[in-house]
Amino acid sequence: MYNLLIALGAGLLVTLVTKFAGFKLWQGLIPGTLVLLGTYVWLGRRIGNKLQELMTSVQKELQGQPTSQKEAQSRVERAIKMLEGGLVYDKWQFLVGSEIHSQIGMLKYMSKDLDGAQAHLSKASPRNYMAKAMQGALFFQRKDFAAMKKSFETAVVSGKKEPLMWAVYAWCLVQNKEKDEALKVLGRGVEANPSDEKLKSSLSALQNDKKLKMKPYEPMWWQFGLEPPPTQVLGGGGGRRFQFSPRR
Contact (CB, 8 A) for 171 and 178: no
d(CA 242, CA 113): 15
For position 15, what pLDDT does the model report?
Answer: 85
Q: What is the torsion angle, in degrees rounded to the nearest 10, for the CA atoms of residue 148, residue 152, residue 154 and residue 159?
A: 160
pLDDT tens track for 178-202: 999 999 999 999 999 999 999 999 9
Whether the per-residue pLDDT at 59 is higher than 90: the answer is: no
pLDDT tens track for 211-241: 999 999 999 999 999 998 765 444 443 333 4
User: Rounded mean pLDDT of 99-103?
Assistant: 93
The pTM (predicted TM-score) of the whole model is 0.78
d(CA 66, CA 46): 34
- Angstrom CA distances, 184 to 133, 143, 207, stand at 17, 21, 11
For position 91, what pLDDT does the model report?
Answer: 75
d(CA 35, CA 11): 5
